[in-house]
Amino acid sequence: MKTFCAMAALAGLVATTSADLITTNLVIRSGTSATLAFPAREAATAEVALLTFQARLESSRIGGSTYAMRLQLNGQPLEPEHVINKPRTLTIRDGRQLGWFATPGWRVPYAPDFTANGKSKSPISSADPELHRWTFDVTRLVRPSGNRLVIAAIPNLPMASPLTLGPVELIFKPSEFVKRVKWEEEEEPVWTGPSLFVPAKAHRVDYRVEERGDRALRVTAGGESFDIESEFRCADPKAFRVKRSVRSLAECVEVTDTIENLTDGDLGLMIHHRVPLAARKVALLHLCGWPKALKEGSQYQAMHPSVFVATEGGGFALLARDDVFRVHCRSALEGGVASLNDERFGLAPRASYTMRWSFFPVPSRDYWDFVNAARRALDVNFTLDGPMGFISTPRASTPALTDAELKTFADNRSLRYVSANIPYSDQPPYRYLHGTGYLEADGWAARTKELLQRLATLRPGLIPVTYFHEFCSTESGSPEKYRDARILHQDGAQANYPYNYPLPLFCPTLDNSYGRAAPGFFDWARQAVGARGIYWDEMDGTSETFTFDGRWDGHTVMMDPKTLKILQKPAMITLLSQEWRIRQAKEILQRGPLIANGQPQTESMARAHFLRFVETGDINHLINAQLYTPVGLGDHLSEKNENDIARQIRAHLRFGCLYYYYGGHIRTTYPQLTSRMYPFTPVELRPGVLMGEERILTARSGTFGWGDRSKHEVHVFDNAGREVPDFKAETTGRDGATLTELHLAKGWVAAIVRK
């Protein structure tokens, strides 16, 4: 730790602008901190004391950002309530929004200097002119007797870039000249007129499809025509055959391409389905659901393998459907051409495989019309239950929670499910017991069973589940014991989950040693832990995408982009483990609930209907939940109190998603919207309005109903998440249907429950 001293002039108490330099440029190594000691005068009446500096993570080029800086002045953390020059989110050029602050600290951009970002046109740069500057109101924190500012550089794994600061200054300024950036939320403004939200009863798009040869289509809808051109390339054009089938469905064109390897050797193909936009101007672009402000780019995301384009005249979307295409799919708009691409496709000798993809005409040009049409095509509108929350089992040396504390915890979260967290050892070195590590469990299981049983008794109907991760095993000697199942890097080294101690990774299959051993966890969870179901972490994939241990999934190759010669045949972990995961899921579901982290990455997994969520340390990840079960966890990085929970629930609604609780550390004193959120069977999702068979959840004002005579029960919650018991909602009949009109204040939300 370094300590610096800076002398400041103790001027008279007058409201004039003055600045004291605390230190010049400062470099702090990752994982360390620096302490700046400095005197300061007392702020005059109508004067504000501002601490200001610039910060960046050292990098040779613009490179995104990460949470990397923590600040403390005289023992008080400098957090969002102190900053005056930053909004809640950082917006980068491609349209993505990232939180400026989270529990670890402040987000800091990677950059070679403090000016490069302003000159950059990179999609990961920002247009924010104050990107590198922080200005804090420290009027109530500075002391004339002396001050200590501690700046900690949080380790930003896997990189270790030093935190670099420009001059750190303390500025005294008349309050009338201090401008504060308000942390305005994106809630719907006060109601200004009727907006009707009633789900459509019929779903059909008026379009025409024309096959133009064996590898091209033309789709016409809403007066706009789009051509789709398919290309299949390999080193030998005569080595394969493609047979195509085209079906016109109510809302999309479904295309199946059966590819056959005609040779006695392995075959590598690059496959492209392209929609040239010609002179059309792109009004909106979503790649894998993510809005792209720059109207170009490419992205991989098997949870949402799509391209949505809106032009001035119409809209369309492409969606990968089959297992292999989804996990290989690169979604793109490049050079005026929208496309779905598989540039990793392989086939064994004389093998065949059927790929399937869909083209959705979207004459409305509304991304959410595509989302809802895709959800119907994927058959994923099944009933979702909740809420869910997590609870940690206290260590043996820690006092157990009282019944009153447990009941308050469960009731104020309105929990339907509660999950125990990761098992751990009571003995040094206190390691997590991932995977088959449960075989070395000691006191955790018994304490957890007692905790879960008490919770279930205190809240009737609550279902306890427990944590499982199939790819990690912390069992002693696991790399040798399950040698045939190890996930290996290209150099043959054992892959480990990124953590502060090794978490060896394995890929279970039906015929390898780890795949045979791991299911023992589920019986142990029921018997020793008292769980009635399983919470499965990272179910479809983990920190590694491929394994290079010699196993092959039969469909993944790496090719020379020019010659198309196969260079390597790795296995995608998602494909290699799929049959094992599906079997375990079916057996678990026969005996109780299964809830998973991460949305399905393949069609086969999506057919096994059970609830899955996404984590929201980055709120944008909710996009990945829009094509299966639209549920997100609370944000463990930014939620500290009940107001934060209410804010995050509103954010989930804006992404068309429901909410599950994350950590149990936040004290809750009243039920929030989650008490009226479930069960929920999706019918139609809109930003800020989720229409289900049982209820409509809204963060927007308007007029709501189901287009029938069903009665409505209305529950409204204020911006702190408290239910407003005396709220009056007008319910009327119109054209034989019951409608509820809501005029919501800013930040309020509501549940309209169908009776």
Give tens-digit pLDDT for 593-638: 999 999 999 999 999 999 999 999 889 999 999 999 999 999 988 8
CB 494 within 8 A of CB 488: yes
Asked if the model's pLDDT at residue 185 lies above 80, the reply is no
Nearest to 734 by CA among 712, 705, 702: 705
> What pLDDT was estimated at residue 121?
82
For 460-497, letters b (16+ CB in 10 Å) and e give: eebbbbbbbbbbbbbbeebbebbebbbbbeeeeebbbb
For the ranges 7-16, 261-270, 287-296, 344-353, which has the lowest average pLDDT? 7-16
DSSP 100: S
Name the band, by pLDDT with cuts 50, 70 and 90, for residue 189: low
Integer Cα distance of 573 and 497 in angstroms: 14
| Confidence band for 194, pLDDT divided at 50, 70 and 90 | low
pLDDT band of residue 657 (cuts 50, 70, 90) is: very high
Q: Does residue 193 carry a pLDDT above 70?
A: no
Helix (H) or strand (E) holding 410: helix 403-412
Please check the confidence at residue 12 and state whether its pLDDT lies above 50. Answer: no
Spell out the residues 6+ positions from residue 398 whose beta carbon is closer than 8 angstroms to its own: none
Alpha helix locations (H) across 590-728? 603-607, 642-654
The answer for residues whose C-beta is within 8 angstroms of residue 679's C-beta and 6 or more apart is: 383, 384, 385, 694
Element of type H or E holding 546: strand 546-547
* Tokens encoding 584: 């375990």
Inform me whether the pLDDT recorded for 550 exceeds 50.
Answer: yes
Q: Which residue has the higher pLDDT, 735 or 463?
A: 463
pLDDT of 9 reads 37
* CA 316 from centroid of its chain's CA atoms: 25
**Residue 692: partners with Cβ closer than 8 Å, 6 or more residues away:** 680, 681, 682, 683
CA angle 270, 273, 275 (to 5 degrees): 140
Residues 537-564 have a mean pLDDT of 96
Strands 749-754 and 737-742: unpaired
Q: Is the pLDDT of residue 188 over 90?
A: no
Task: Residue 711: count other Cβ atoms within 10 Å of its Cβ.
Answer: 10
Name the nearest CA neighbour of 363 among 319, 318, 306, 316. 316
Question: Quick one: pLDDT band at residue 95, thresholds 50, 70, 90?
Answer: confident
- CA 349, CA 556: separation in Å to the nearest integer? 14
Residue 13 has pLDDT above 80, yes or no: no
Res. 112: pLDDT tops 60 = yes
Confidence of residue 427 (pLDDT cuts 50, 70, 90): confident
- Is 25 or 315 the better-scoring residue by pLDDT? 315
Q: Is the pLDDT of residue 7 over 80?
A: no
Tokens 């009571």, residue located: 426
Residue 589's H or E segment, with its range, is: helix 578-589
Axis-axis angle for helices 578-589, 520-527 (nearest 10): 30
Percent of the chain at pLDDT > 90 equals 82
- CB under 8 Å to 532, separation ≥6 — which residues? 463, 464, 465, 526, 592, 593
pLDDT mean across residues, the chain: 93
Distance in angstroms (rounded) separating the CA atoms of residues 630 and 628: 6
528: exposed, middle or buried (Cβ count in 10 Å: 0-12, 13-18, 19+) = middle
CB distance 573 to 471 below 8 Å: yes
How do residues 154-181 score in pLDDT, each as one tens digit? 987 667 899 999 999 999 999 888 888 8
How far apart CA 690 and CA 682 sit, in angstroms, is 7
Q: What angle do CA 432, 435, 438 make, to 5 degrees?
A: 65
Which is more confident, 213 or 418?
418
Look up residue 593 and give its amino acid. Answer: P
Identify whether the C-beta of residue 418 lies closer than 8 Å to the C-beta of residue 660.
no
Lowest mean pLDDT: which of 117-131, 329-343, 441-455? 117-131
Cβ 49 vs Cβ 138: under 8 Å:
yes
3-state secondary structure of 682: strand
| CA quadruple 407, 412, 418, 421: dihedral, nearest 10 | -90
pTM, rounded to two decimals: 0.90
The residue with tokens 């499910």 is: 417
Q: Dump pLDDT digits (tens) for 384-426.
A: 999 999 999 999 889 999 999 999 999 999 999 999 999 999 9
* Structural domains in the chain, sorted by start: 2-177 (2.60.120), 215-377 (no CATH), 388-544+577-672 (3.20.20.80)
Whether residue 199 is preceded by a cis peptide bond, meaning omega within 30 degrees of 0, is: no
Contact 258, 356 (CB under 8 A): no
For helices 403-412 and 444-458, what crossing angle results, to 10°?
60
How much is the average pLDDT of 728-753? Answer: 93
Helices (H) and strands (E) in the chain, counts: 12, 52
Q: Is 453 helix (H, G, I), strand (E, B) or coil?
A: helix
| Tokens at 272, concatenated | 């492209």
Of 369, 370, 381, 340, the C-alpha closest to 357 is 340
Q: What is the pLDDT of residue 487?
A: 98
Distance CA 654, CA 27 (A): 40
Say if residues 104 and 70 touch (Cβ distance below 8 Å). yes
Give, for 515, the enclosing helix (H) or strand (E): helix 513-517
Per DSSP, helices labelled H in 483-624 are 513-517, 520-527, 573-576, 578-589, 603-607
